[in-house]
Amino acid sequence: MKTIAKFGAAALAATTMAFAADAAMAQNATYYESQIYTPAPVAQWDGLYLGGHVSFLESAFGVGKQVGFNVQSGDVVYGLQGSWTYFPSPGEYVVQGQGRLGMVVFDEFLAYVAAGIGTGSSNQAFVTAGAGTEFKFSDNASFFEQVDGVWYNGGFQGLQVKGGINWYID
């Protein structure tokens, strides 16, 4: 009988220590779980955006605006953009439509290629193809730059360089 009592006391003591150890581990687990690193959220490029830009095309300086819509799937971003640019020196405007396909390189940095068509006040149709980058400096705003080759009249005519700001609409 003494052996059973000793065994029961030993089992009770071991169980009590195990419960105490589990409670201490649970407290520490809560502390350590709160210390786990959570990465900063990746910038979202989905949705409608509006913006303004400056442009340089064939020795003329212009100002304009753009509107576009992006869809993001993981790190891949694709979309459409329309732009209107006025060049005061020759007194002409240019209207463009482009498709964009890009990749999120860093959290707030998008690199993309673009291609499209356009026309202007001279009714001359042209084709563009180029590349650009965009950097989100807040949840809803970004800087961008883009360089496009311009082709019309059967050949390459020059480069169009654009830079500006986009505002993303939630």
* Co-location of 127 and 164 in the same domain: yes
Q: Taking residues 126-152, what's their average pLDDT?
A: 96
* Co-location of 82 and 150 in the same domain: yes
For 50-88, write each residue's pLDDT tens digit: 999 999 988 899 999 999 999 999 999 999 999 999 999
* Co-location of 79 and 152 in the same domain: yes
N-to-C CA span, the chain: 77
Q: In the chain, where does DSSP find H-type helix? A: 2-34
What's the token pair of residue 170? 């939630």
Q: Which domain holds residue 117?
A: 47-168
The CA radius of gyration of the chain, in Å to the nearest whole number, is: 30
* Co-location of 24 and 74 in the same domain: no
Backbone φ and ψ for 128, nearest 5 degrees, come out as -125, 150
Q: Taking residues 123-135, what's their average pLDDT?
A: 96
How many domains does the chain fold into?
2
* Co-location of 160 and 105 in the same domain: yes
Per-residue pLDDT band for 106 (boundaries 50, 70, 90) equals confident
Average pLDDT, the chain: 85
Per-residue pLDDT band for 153 (boundaries 50, 70, 90) equals confident
Alpha carbon separation from 14 to 4, 6, 21, 137, 160 (Å, rounded)? 15, 12, 10, 59, 79
Q: Does pLDDT of 10 surpass 70?
A: no
* Co-location of 18 and 101 in the same domain: no
pLDDT of residue 51: 98
Q: Does pLDDT of 89 surpass 70?
A: yes
Q: Select from 131, 93, 91 the least CA-distant residue to 110.
A: 131
* Co-location of 14 and 66 in the same domain: no
* Co-location of 29 and 69 in the same domain: no
What is the secondary structure of 59-88 as a DSSP string?
A: TEEEEEEEEEEEEEETTEEEEEEEEEEEET
Q: Select from 40, 59, 113 the least CA-distant residue to 81.
A: 113
* Co-location of 11 and 33 in the same domain: yes
* Co-location of 89 and 135 in the same domain: yes
* Co-location of 132 and 151 in the same domain: yes
DSSP 8-state code for residue 124: -
Q: Taking residues 108-112, what's their average pLDDT?
A: 96
What's the token pair of residue 22? 């589990």
* Co-location of 153 and 82 in the same domain: yes
Q: Could you tell me the CATH number of the domain that includes residue 158?
A: 2.40.160.20
